[in-house]
Amino acid sequence: MCTLLFFLTENRNKEIGKLLRLLGRKNQDWDEVLPSALWALRTTKNTATGHSSFELVYGREDQQPYDIAIRTIENAGKSYDEILMEKFVRHYQWTREACENVKNANKYWATRREEQISMKKGKELKAGDLVLVRNFSRTKLEPYYNGPFKILKIQFNTATLIDQKTGKQLDRNVHFKNLVKFNSAYREA
């Protein structure tokens, strides 16, 4: 965690340095240009999140003098209650959109974690091992896993299995995330 924070801080400092060089004159007036550079960084939308730092901290977009002037022209003739209701609806829509974005990001990272875990599991398994296969069509009293099955062959993140009792090969390969290494001690208990 500490390394990540260090990296993010260094990255932000690099961005500030670039802006100071762009806006200022050769290390002479950096202290005068710094507030403008920081404001530009804080109000620029991030491509990954789609929101600026200012927006994430304060929950709304920043207000430039031009924006305030336009809003007063747009809101001319509306009652205060109508303006508040429109703001409420816009904020509600923004909140729903932000929640949906977070939900999608969480799904993405959960899937990535699951894939990484299943890849690690695949490194633990090898041909000849006995495994149990997750039972997706189980009812209330049926076991969570079927087996044991013997691994015949491993391809990338799937395994070809043979039924121990019948000696028949399963119709299709099974993904590692649906396999559990068989432990005979658990079966006998």
Per-residue HEC secondary structure of 102-119 comes to HHHHHHHHHHHHHHHHHH
SS3 of 78, please? coil
**Alpha-carbon gap, residue 52 to 45, rounded angstroms:** 4
Mean per-residue pLDDT of the chain: 81
The average pLDDT across 106-112 equals: 87
pLDDT at 97 over 80: yes
**Alpha-carbon gap, residue 122 to 158, rounded angstroms:** 8
pLDDT at 141 over 80: yes
The pLDDT, as a whole number, for residue 164 is 85
Structure tokens at 150: 């013997």
The pLDDT, as a whole number, for residue 121 is 65
CB distance 180 to 132 below 8 Å: yes
